[in-house]
A and B are shown apart, each in its own frame.
Chain A
Amino acid sequence: MARRRPAARVASRPLSAKGADWAFHAGDDEVLDALANGRQTESLREYFGAPAYAELSALAAAARAAKKSAAPRVLILPGIMGSKLGHPMRHAGAKPRGRAADVLWIDPLQIAAGNLTALALPSGRSLKAVGVLLFSYARLKLQLQIAGCNASFYSYDWRLGLDELGAKLAARIARGGRPVILVAHSMGGLVARTAARILPKRLVRKLIMLGAPNSGSFAPVQALRGTYPFVRKVAALDRKHSAEYLAESVFCTFPGLYHMLPPPQFVKDMDLFDVRCWPDDVPAPKPEILGQVAAARAGFAAVDSRMVHIVGVNQETVVGLRRTAAGFEYAMDRNGDGTVPLSMARLPKLKCYFVDESHADLANNPRVIQAIIDLVRRGRTGTLPQRWRAKTGVVRRIDDAQLRAEGAEKIDWRRLTPAQREAVFAQLDSGRLLPAAQHPVA
Chain B
Amino acid sequence: MALPAGQDGIESRKLYEEDFTVALPIDHPLGAKSTIKVQDLKGHTLLLLEDGHCLRDQALEVCSRVDVREAEDFRATSLETLRQMVIAGLGITLLPELAVEYSFGSQRGLAIRRFTKPAPSRTVGAVWRKSSTRAPVIAAVCDVVDRVVASNG
Contacts and interface: CB of A to CB of B under 8 A. Distances in A.
A200 interface: yes
Contact of B105 (A164, A170, A200): A164
B87 to A, nearest CB: 7
Interface stretch (B33-41, B58-66, B68-76, B129-137): B68-76
Interface stretch (A38-46, A84-92, A171-179, A360-368): A171-179
Nearest to A125: B106
Interface of A: 122, 125, 163-164, 166-168, 170-172, 174-175, 197-200, 295, 299
Nearest to B108: A125
B84 A167 contact: yes
A124 to B, nearest CB: 13
Nearest to B74: A198
* Interface SS, A side: helix
Contact of A198 (B75, B83, B87): B75
A342 to B, nearest CB: 28
B84 A170 contact: yes
B80 interface: yes
B54 to A, nearest CB: 16
Given A125-B106, A164-B105, A170-B74, A198 B81 contact: yes
B78 interface: yes
B74 A175 contact: no
B84 A171 contact: yes
B89 interface: yes
B80 A174 contact: no
A167 B81 contact: yes
A198 B76 contact: yes
B90 A197 contact: no
Given A125-B106, A174-B90, A200 B84 contact: no
Interface in B27-64: none
Contacts of A172: 88
A252 to B, nearest CB: 16
Interface string B114-135: 0000000000000000000000
B85 A174 contact: yes
10 contacts: A171-B84, A171-B85, A172-B88, A174-B73, A174-B74, A174-B88, A175-B89, A175-B90, A199-B75, A299-B78
Among B78, B85, B87, find the residue whose CB has the most chain A CB atoms closer than 10 A. Answer: B78
Contacts of A175: 88-90
Contacts of A164: 80, 84, 105
A234 B10 CA distance: 54
B106 A299 contact: no
> Top 7 nearest A-B pairs by Cβ distance?
A171-B88, A167-B84, A167-B81, A171-B84, A200-B73, A175-B88, A167-B80
Contacts of A171: 84-85, 87-88, 90
A167 B83 contact: yes
Contacts of B105: 164
A39 to B, nearest CB: 35
A172 B87 CA distance: 10
B74 A200 contact: yes
A400 B54 CA distance: 45
A72 to B, nearest CB: 18
Nearest to B82: A167
Contacts of A170: 74, 81, 84-85
